Chains A and B, each alone.
Chain A
């Protein structure tokens, strides 16, 4: 089996799984209970949070755990939008559906939502951003590493430009970036960012909204009055601690693993670039090497996916979240303006756990099409 769908999800790390099982057993009490067992669970929760904060060097942020990054992105977007009731929101044409979905909804509800174009290199148009950013802007939502083509957006520059507009809050979808790419900005300067543990060998069911202390969001969920949390309800302590374990193990390896994956990416590129049937959608610069996206105009995305599946090669058509829909993949369309490329794209997503000989087989299959 050759698994090349790591951007959809990763297999859980053995040690992380052990942590999960141990915590689920040893700390079964509700972290909101005020008896001794509850206090132990609460302590464990706080410890996990503080270890994540110190690893990411974000002493002035709060962590709000959710079920997944989709929930975290929704909480952030509606949290700001519902607080202001109206206003301008700037986002991009290449967001993950967990951001573009709420944006579409807010647009229908009367918010002024601006979708930034992307340039041929896959990067947002910063000139357009400068023009659009104004005093009415309440939210700017930009994906750090795009999940379809892997382009890295200039978050550092965005932060700098936003300095003059303190009302506008920045939400960065860091799902495909955390533990994979070394940021060119400090997480400390980001108002809100989201991540999901299962993208870096953590358990499924643990997302997180990280937000600056003191940044108030309107909650979209209501629950226990005693809990002032944005997301009330019993937390998955095992999931959260396992998430901390995964960050502890993989965040320090970010650079090292990325170097390894860069080699894999170049192998794919070097061996597919001369195939006239294949269009490589991923740009050559400002990208995460974890994602390699191609279109084969003679073959629909799903057909190609099935064909590779016969060789036990598992890839993704567009992103997994929209693979059941027969609509053009929005990011590829925004990049290429070509419906054909956008309905014929597949994404191979890599990991430091992928071996070069696996990719040799993949290249061989693709080159015989």
Chain B
């Protein structure tokens, strides 16, 4: 039905000095991701991009645009000739299609960049409104608070007619804001914290602590599937997942540490490892899905005790979010259904009955020294397995070869 998608940029237009760098980056990202539509034509204009669909379905293109960080909104346009009757005809079609109720208020807004046309913007709006109003029952003009706005964009190449706009992902273009290491447990929160970071332009990699046989291979697959899902939002569609062999460390902590401090020590060790990984791979910050008070290990006191092991900044994008808000985002980015698969992860398997809610640094250091984990930590870092994930190739650790004939229907 539509000819063109008009794409607008978001917050980045506020950043005057960095604007050109942003623009270059986002154009690259868009071009990369839209490669799968062979007939699509991309035309740049300052602050916006026009995508000529040339037969591609707009729903499919929008689905891809919805994974590109930095786009603020889209409008679905039809192109007509510079003729009032044709413009009005098209507008009627668009309004009838979008009109969800009997009575609706609207206004016409015209932008005339083609100054050769003999009418000014106001006159164009009036001419078109005059033709539309009698044709659509229940349509009323309200120039101050319209429920629907009809935009007419007079350009040299033709007239673009469209209604309102669909919100995009927003944020900054991918990969602009340094790098981060996301601690990915497999739960609902960490993928959301990763997504919010990607949205702000952080180039992320993920780290997962894996304790077989205490946690199953399915829990690792779950983390892989989550990362693959997040790859969709990465500008290059790729992400590395570092899998840390954590069994020995976890067992030793479990044997040596006072029950109530197991979680605290475990998290301190995870951050120690993350710290070294960041140094080794030049990653700027650690990102996690902690939210104040959600569980015992996420009290501010706990964060203080855990933070003490590293001086690398730890970003906690979900700090002040409610669980319901987090779930809403998780559903939107389609990680929720993966996260709720019922497999234990490193945080749930060794949970003591009464974890300490207000740990102290002094006691934590004392408990940690009892385990003497230096050697195990070095070994774990040495044996990290790096899995290169991408949005268009599924990676499986499940040892089932799905290419076998028996899976053919």
Interface residues of A (CB under 8 A from B): 19, 22, 26-27, 34, 36, 39-40, 43-44, 47-48, 51, 163-164, 226, 228, 241, 244-245, 248
Q: Which of B102, B340, B343 contacts A164 (CB 8 A)?
A: B102
Q: What are 21 A-B pairs at a CB distance below 8 A? A: A22-B406, A26-B406, A27-B406, A34-B216, A34-B218, A34-B343, A36-B398, A36-B400, A39-B218, A40-B400, A43-B400, A43-B402, A43-B407, A47-B407, A47-B409, A51-B409, A164-B100, A164-B102, A226-B342, A228-B340, A245-B409
B399 at the interface (CB under 8 A from A): yes
List which B351-379 residues lie within 8 A (CB) of chain A: none
Which B residue sits closest to A164, measured CB to CB? B101
Interface size grouping (class) on chain B: 10 to 19
| Given known A164-B100, A164-B101, A226-B342, contact A36–B409 (CB-CB < 8 A) | no
In the complex, which residues of chain B have a beta carbon less than 8 angstroms from the beta carbon of A19?
A: 409
Interface residues of B (CB under 8 A from A): 100-102, 216, 218, 340, 342-343, 398-400, 402, 406-407, 409
B398 touches A39 (CB 8 A): yes
In the complex, which residues of chain A have a beta carbon less than 8 angstroms from the beta carbon of B406?
A: 22, 26-27
A241 touches B400 (CB 8 A): no
A244 touches B402 (CB 8 A): no
CA distance A40 to B218 in the complex (A): 13
Which B residue sits closest to A40, measured CB to CB? B400
Q: Which of B100, B218, B340, B399 contacts A163 (CB 8 A)?
A: B100
In the complex, which residues of chain A have a beta carbon less than 8 angstroms from the beta carbon of B398?
A: 36, 39
A208 to chain B minimum Cβ distance, whole angstroms, is: 15
A252 to chain B minimum Cβ distance, whole angstroms, is: 14
Which A residue sits closest to B342, measured CB to CB? A226
CA distance A244 to B400 in the complex (A): 22
Interface class of chain B by DSSP: loop
CA distance A121 to B400 in the complex (A): 56
CA distance A22 to B398 in the complex (A): 23
Task: List 5 tightest A-B contacts by C-beta distance, closest first.
Answer: A244-B409, A26-B406, A40-B400, A226-B342, A245-B409
In the complex, which residues of chain A have a beta carbon less than 8 angstroms from the beta carbon of B342?
A: 226
Known: A22-B406, A43-B402, A44-B407. 17 other contacts (CB 8 A): A19-B409, A26-B406, A27-B406, A34-B216, A34-B343, A36-B398, A36-B399, A36-B400, A39-B218, A39-B400, A43-B407, A47-B407, A47-B409, A163-B100, A164-B102, A226-B342, A248-B409
CA distance A228 to B400 in the complex (A): 24
CA distance A164 to B400 in the complex (A): 48
In the complex, which residues of chain B have a beta carbon less than 8 angstroms from the beta carbon of A44?
A: 407
In the complex, which residues of chain A have a beta carbon less than 8 angstroms from the beta carbon of B407?
A: 43-44, 47
Which A residue sits closest to B340, measured CB to CB? A228
CA distance A228 to B339 in the complex (A): 14
Which A residue sits closest to B406, measured CB to CB? A26
In the complex, which residues of chain B have a beta carbon less than 8 angstroms from the beta carbon of A164?
A: 100-102
A326 to chain B minimum Cβ distance, whole angstroms, is: 44
In the complex, which residues of chain B have a beta carbon less than 8 angstroms from the beta carbon of A43?
A: 400, 402, 407
In the complex, which residues of chain B have a beta carbon less than 8 angstroms from the beta carbon of A27?
A: 406
CA distance A27 to B408 in the complex (A): 12
| Given known A39-B400, A226-B342, contact A241–B101 (CB-CB < 8 A) | no
CA distance A220 to B340 in the complex (A): 23
In the complex, which residues of chain A have a beta carbon less than 8 angstroms from the beta carbon of B400?
A: 36, 39-40, 43
B64 to chain A minimum Cβ distance, whole angstroms, is: 14
A73 to chain B minimum Cβ distance, whole angstroms, is: 26
Counting chain A CB atoms within 10 Å of each CB, the highest count among B100, B101, B343, B407 belongs to B407
In the complex, which residues of chain A have a beta carbon less than 8 angstroms from the beta carbon of B409?
A: 19, 47-48, 51, 241, 244-245, 248
Which A residue sits closest to B399, measured CB to CB? A36
CA distance A34 to B398 in the complex (A): 11
In the complex, which residues of chain A have a beta carbon less than 8 angstroms from the beta carbon of B101?
A: 164
CA distance A177 to B264 in the complex (A): 61
In the complex, which residues of chain B have a beta carbon less than 8 angstroms from the beta carbon of A241?
A: 409
B147 to chain A minimum Cβ distance, whole angstroms, is: 15
CA distance A26 to B409 in the complex (A): 13
In the complex, which residues of chain A have a beta carbon less than 8 angstroms from the beta carbon of B340?
A: 228
CA distance A284 to B352 in the complex (A): 73
CA distance A39 to B399 in the complex (A): 10
A288 to chain B minimum Cβ distance, whole angstroms, is: 27
CA distance A44 to B407 in the complex (A): 6
B104 to chain A minimum Cβ distance, whole angstroms, is: 12
CA distance A48 to B409 in the complex (A): 7
B151 to chain A minimum Cβ distance, whole angstroms, is: 23
In the complex, which residues of chain A have a beta carbon less than 8 angstroms from the beta carbon of B102?
A: 164
B406 to chain A minimum Cβ distance, whole angstroms, is: 5
B276 to chain A minimum Cβ distance, whole angstroms, is: 33
A346 to chain B minimum Cβ distance, whole angstroms, is: 37
In the complex, which residues of chain A have a beta carbon less than 8 angstroms from the beta carbon of B100?
A: 163-164
CA distance A22 to B340 in the complex (A): 32
CA distance A226 to B342 in the complex (A): 7
Which A residue sits closest to B398, measured CB to CB? A39
CA distance A228 to B216 in the complex (A): 21
A230 to chain B minimum Cβ distance, whole angstroms, is: 15
CA distance A244 to B408 in the complex (A): 11
In the complex, which residues of chain A have a beta carbon less than 8 angstroms from the beta carbon of B216?
A: 34
Which B residue sits closest to A225, measured CB to CB? B342
In the complex, which residues of chain B have a beta carbon less than 8 angstroms from the beta carbon of A245?
A: 409
